[in-house]
Structure 1
């Protein structure tokens, strides 16, 4: 399947994110990303180490969800405010397994996800260090953490759920023991449904006309991953923080027509970015439809793994 990156759109988006800047993206995360709020709540309840561990393990099984991601992480927060997040990997994996059984969002492939949690325990040494010193592991030994997790699951360190697990561990730590620090710039963006949609709707990645662009890009994630890394280097915003902007608004071009998507994105971002920048983001991320006007979409939030 022929996928290609538009050099012109890469330059436009690089300039846009350069203008937004890292400080505004950090503020947007604090104001708009419920994942940060929910992971931070759990970390404040049980401590930065256990909170980071439970957030990371949950992220490893956060695919093919039967609800929106926002609802899933709210379910996570609600469960772990009532149930302990243990400070040891095996206990934490068991607790996340109970969460999987209790939240309807995890019903799809639940048995596979439970086995995945068990396999992740072979990364026990680095997970124990995560509990003991979350900021040192997340910000200082992230490569070792990603490599160990990937090896335990038979994946690559750049795969979507692997890098997303680092982001969610960071979000738990961000609300407790490592506030105000950005993630490393060498960790790629997780190419999920929303990133795939915006990669197409922004004009950044071109796909054949007769296929669902989201499925096409998710099947060839390296194309989008490389393009967003280029934008990251040009703008000075690490890919996992660019991901926050995309995740906050990426549902709109997937579910709405272009004009409606632009209006929804503008409304969402205006309080954090101001009228002019919010309008620019809305315009540049929605040059074409990626969902309702182009191809049927699954009711399941994610479709890979």
Structure 2
């Protein structure tokens, strides 16, 4: 625990933002934003897709790149059913039923709250979507929607939304290999002083970065990433102490 915390504490906010900007999902949103000039239209699409990002037929990074390409051509929400039928076909009937509810909830959210409201308090998005979709406030897809909104908001406005520290981490299959215990992530966040919603970027983006991308990072950050990568690879020995 102490070794992991020591490295995590060395990451500044600037380090984390730099690292997040190398996330393939972030880059996919940057490309989409260039084609969609209206921030609200852009962020609606982002949140809807995040809420539908489960049981994928391809890796998450590829899925978001496909999403970006698809909606860059024509950014109408009405095209989502076509997109899901083509690119997210597992449990298709259930997903199409959920899609209609998701679209309704997202439209309601953006109708009741401005982007300024959501930017000042990202917990509004989590609470309202949780209530509308009848899901727990820390459910994976809801908090993942908050994370992707955070990415999109920063791309659109050049700053992060506020109250990130009050949102849980989206525990996916990668993070569950370290721990599926939500209290584990809460404690790790508190001790490292990194919001849960940003911890997975520090722990997992480095594992997927190509060497060419690593070369573009500052030397000090590359050194930190190599250390964190080594610790993640030793997750089995680290997890037991972190659960205490």
Scaled by the length of structure 2, the TM-score of the pair is: 0.84
Structure 2 unaligned residues grouped into runs of 5+ = 238-244
1:23 aligns with 2:6: no
SS at match of 1:111: helix
Question: What is the match of residue 230 of structure 1?
Answer: 187
Question: What is the match of residue 283 of structure 1?
Answer: 230
Question: What is the match of residue 111 of structure 2?
Answer: 128
Cα separation, partners in 2 of 1:190 and 1:22, compared to 1, 3 Å: same
CA contact (8 A) 2:20 2:201 kept: yes
Question: What is the match of residue 26 of structure 2?
Answer: 36
SS at match of 1:185: helix
1:97 to 81, 91, 103: 81
Cα separation, partners in 2 of 1:40 and 1:179, compared to 1, 3 Å: farther
SS at match of 1:43: helix
Q: Deviations over 1:109-133 (max 9, x none)?
A: 1221221121221454323246xx3
- Distance in 1 separating the partners of 2:28 and 2:121: 24
How many matched pairs?
Answer: 233
Scaled by the length of structure 1, the TM-score of the pair is: 0.68
CA contact (8 A) 1:249 1:268 kept: no
Deviation of 1:284 (Å): 1.0
1:245 aligns with 2:166: no
Cα separation, partners in 2 of 1:71 and 1:134, compared to 1, 3 Å: same
Structure 1 unaligned residues grouped into runs of 5+ = 1-8, 86-91, 200-204, 206-216, 218-222, 252-263, 291-305
Cα separation, partners in 2 of 1:70 and 1:135, compared to 1, 3 Å: farther
Cα separation, partners in 2 of 1:20 and 1:59, compared to 1, 3 Å: same
1:174 to 151, 154, 159: 154
SS at match of 1:19: coil
Question: What is the match of residue 140 of structure 1?
Answer: 120
Q: Deviations over 1:136-179 (max 9, x none)?
A: 31x32322321221122221111110000111122122111243
SS at match of 1:285: helix
